[in-house]
Amino acid sequence: MHSFYRTPVLNEWTDYNGHLRDAHYLLIFSYATDALMDHIGLDEAGRARTGHTLYTLEVHLNYLSEVKRGEHVEVRTQLLAHDGKRLHIHHGLYREGSEQLLAASEQMLMNIDHASGRSAIWHADVLATIERLAASDAELPRPVHCGRVIGLPR
C-alpha cells in the first residue's frame, strides 16, 4: 500500500464529542484521491497537459473506529485493478504509525476528458505510472472490506 496523504484531524471536522464527523471521513479520502491523482501524473500540470481528470463513480465507506480531534491520520491506498479508463482502489484510514484500520473506502474512479466530458483512455505516461503501482500492489491481499454489498438479510 502507498501512503500518499497525511493530515491532523482539524477542529472544524469534529462534532460536539470531539469525534471526526462521518462526512469528513469521506473528505479525507477525497484528499487522498487528489494525492493519488498527483502521483499518477494528473496533478495540476498533468491535467493541463493531458486535458484529463478523474471522476469518482462509486464509493463504499466503512466506519470502523472513532477518530478524535487533533489525532494525526494517514490514508494508505491500494490499487486493486485498472483498465483502459478506470481505477478500482481501496483507501484505508490509520493513525500515523498504527496498523489499526479506522475506516475503509473502496472506490471506482474514471478518467475523463475535460473537453468532451466523456471517459477517455489513459495518457501513455499516466498509464505507465498506473501499471507500476499495479505491479507493486499485485501481491497484496485483497482488503476485507472490498466487494461488500449493503442490505438486510431476507
**Cα atoms found within 13 Å of the Cα of residue 28, Cβ hemisphere only:** 34
Per-residue pLDDT at 154: 86
pLDDT in tens, the chain (154 residues): 788 899 999 999 999 999 999 999 999 999 999 999 999 999 999 999 999 999 999 999 999 999 999 999 999 999 999 999 999 999 999 999 999 999 999 999 999 999 999 999 999 999 999 999 999 999 999 999 999 888 898 8
Give the CATH superfamily of 2-137: Hotdog Thioesterase (3.10.129.10)
Per-residue pLDDT at 129: 97
- What pTM was computed for the model? 0.94
Question: Left (φ > 0), alpha (ψ -120 to 50) or beta: where does 26 sit?
Answer: alpha
H/E element holding 106? strand 101-113
Per-residue pLDDT at 99: 95
